[in-house]
Amino acid sequence: MKIKVPKEIQIGCHSHKVFLKDNTTSDFDGDAYHRQEMIRVEEKLPPTQRGATFLHESLHFISQIYSVTLAERDINSLSEGLGQLLFSDLGIELDWSEIPTMTATVKR
Ligand SMILES: [Zn+2]
């Protein structure tokens, strides 16, 4: 089953824009910018890695907004576990066709 990635996701009372990025904008597979309310995911990642990165960056916002203390290692484990459930066990594929690519760097 394919599910469209929305252009914005709601976490708490905050709406976060979702972008793809090219690998020239940072060394990371994904970024979460709380003040700018945006998530960026590397566009050239294979589908399951792109999906797990999207979950990973979303978990950073969930951790921050809901005041749940999660270390980077916890977020890595949770994003892989959720990725396995969604992408492998349930067969969900994410459709990124409506997500714009951002090529500029972002100031934190
Ligand atoms: Zn992280």
Contact predicate 21/40, CB 8 Å: yes
In angstroms, rounded to a whole number, what is the distance separating the alpha carbons of residues 60 and 46?
Answer: 21
How many angstroms separate the alpha carbon of residue 56 from the centre of ligand 1?
Answer: 6
How many angstroms separate the alpha carbon of residue 91 from the centre of ligand 1?
Answer: 24
Q: Structurally, how many domains does the chain consist of?
A: 1
Tens of pLDDT along 1-35? 999 999 999 999 999 999 999 877 777 899 999 89
Residue 19 lies in a domain: yes
Residue 106 confidence class, pLDDT cut points 50, 70, 90? confident
Tens of pLDDT along 66-100? 999 999 999 999 999 999 999 999 999 999 999 99
Residue 107 lies in a domain: no
How many angstroms separate the alpha carbon of residue 101 from the centre of ligand 1?
Answer: 20
CB atoms within 10 A of CB 94: 19
Residue 30 lies in a domain: yes
Domain containing 59 equals 2-102
How many angstroms separate the alpha carbon of residue 60 from the centre of ligand 1?
Answer: 7
Residue 65: predicted pLDDT: 95
